[in-house]
């Protein structure tokens, strides 16, 4: 069913309707709903060759504002960074290609909110390809926009989100796209995601950068930063490390 839903989207693209899609709901779908599973307990500590981006040994200068590169205005408590709504996204000072990324996040206590308004943030690879962060344990939304989804492209295989206020982890393997000198795609990007140790994206071929409205399509680009999104929810992050592949 998932392949069928995405095939319909690709048919729109093939029909040349890309420029006519103006409604974000046109690229949302609600079935099938990924089954919920209870993730096991685990600790993922960084290996010796990892770059520590957020944690006990991290340099605070690893992160800058995504808008202009100035100082980070998010709330810092020890080794945790929490979104300050309205302050804007933050990004790594360094840029990366293909990587292994570990990141831990926690949704705020927002039982009065639902769907995309509840614990919303995102992890963007190369500033373009989003792994959705959302409180999806007790709130429903379109399946290709819930936690663990490659936003608007691929829903998670299962919903492994922990209850509101508990820490979640993502372990992401990202194979960056390759372009030739003419800007044509030689190899598309691929993403594998483990959510709390559970496989939710299995070497998925990205169709292009994340789009809120319309269908994705590649545009040649260089390496890029890791971006954490400000979506007006006080989502917290900790224990972020990365390995260049």
Averaged pLDDT for residues 185-209: 98
Q: Which residue has the higher pLDDT, 45 or 158?
A: 158
Q: Architecture of domain 2-244 in CATH? A: Sandwich (2.60)
Q: What pLDDT band is residue 4 in, cutting at 50, 70 and 90?
A: very low
CA distance 59 to 63: 9
Confidence category of residue 8, pLDDT binned at 50, 70, 90:
very low
131 Cβ contact partners less than 8 Å away, ≥ 6 residues apart: 122, 123, 124, 125, 148, 149, 150, 151, 170, 172, 191, 193, 201
Of the listed ranges 14-23, 47-56, 143-152, 182-191, the least confidently predicted one is 14-23
How far is 131 from 3, CA to CA, in rounded Å? 19
Any idea which of 15-29, 45-59, 109-123, 187-201 has the lowest mean pLDDT?
Answer: 15-29
Query: Each residue of 140-182: pLDDT tens digit?
Result: 999 999 999 999 999 999 999 999 999 999 999 999 999 999 9
What global pTM score does this model have? 0.87
Q: Which residues contact 11 (CB under 8 A, 6 or more apart)?
A: none
Task: Please tell me which residue, 16 or 186, carries the higher pLDDT value.
Answer: 186
Residue 7 — very low, low, confident or very high, per pLDDT cuts 50/70/90?
Answer: very low
Mean local confidence (pLDDT), 128-138: 97
The CA distance from 59 to 53, in Å, is 7
Tell me what percent of the residues of the chain surpass a pLDDT of 90: 82
Per residue, the 3-state secondary structure of 83-125, as one string, reads CCCCCCCEEECCCECCEEEEEEEECCCCCCCCHHHCCCEEEEE
132 forms beta bridges with: 122
Please state the rounded mean pLDDT for residues 74-89: 97
| Per-residue confidence (pLDDT) for residue 43, from 0 to 100 | 64
Do 211 and 63 form a contact (C-beta atoms < 8 A)?
A: no
H/E stretch holding 3 reads: helix 2-14
Indicate the average pLDDT of the chain. Answer: 92
If pLDDT is split at 50, 70 and 90, which confidence band does 42 have? Answer: low
pLDDT tens profile 214-227? 999 999 999 999 99
Q: What is the pLDDT of residues 224-241, one digit of tens each?
A: 999 999 999 999 999 999
Q: What angle do CA 86, 88, 94 make, to 5 degrees?
A: 160
What helix, strand, coil percent values describe the chain, rounded to 5?
10, 30, 55
Residue 46 has pLDDT above 50, yes or no: yes
- In the chain, what are the domain boundaries? 2-244
């Amino acid at each position: 069913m998932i392949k069928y839903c995405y095939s319909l989207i690709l048919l729109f693209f093939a029909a040349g309707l890309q420029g006519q899609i103006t409604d974000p709901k046109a690229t949302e779908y609600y079935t099938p709903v990924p089954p919920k599973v209870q993730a096991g307990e685990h600790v993922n500590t960084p290996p010796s060759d990892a770059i520590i981006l957020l944690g006990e040994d991290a340099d605070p200068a690893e992160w800058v504002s995504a808008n202009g590169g100035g100082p980070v205005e998010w709330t810092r408590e020890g080794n945790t960074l929490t979104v300050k709504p309205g302050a804007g996204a933050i990004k790594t000072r360094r840029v990366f290609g293909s990587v292994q990324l570990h990141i831990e996040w926690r949704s705020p206590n927002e039982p009065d909110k639902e769907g995309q308004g509840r614990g919303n943030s995102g992890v963007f690879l190369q500033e373009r390809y989003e792994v959705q962060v959302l409180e999806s344990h007790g709130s429903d939304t379109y399946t290709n926009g819930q936690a663990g989804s490659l936003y608007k492209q691929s829903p998670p295989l299962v919903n492994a989100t922990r209850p509101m206020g508990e820490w979640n982890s993502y372990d992401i393997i990202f194979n960056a796209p390759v372009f030739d000198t003419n800007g044509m795609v030689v190899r598309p990007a691929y993403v594998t995601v483990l959510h709390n140790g559970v496989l939710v994206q299995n070497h998925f071929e990205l169709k292009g950068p994340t789009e809120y409205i319309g269908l994705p399509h590649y545009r040649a680009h260089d390496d890029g930063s890791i971006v954490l999104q400000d979506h007006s929810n006080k989502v917290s992050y900790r224990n972020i490390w990365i390995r260049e592949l």
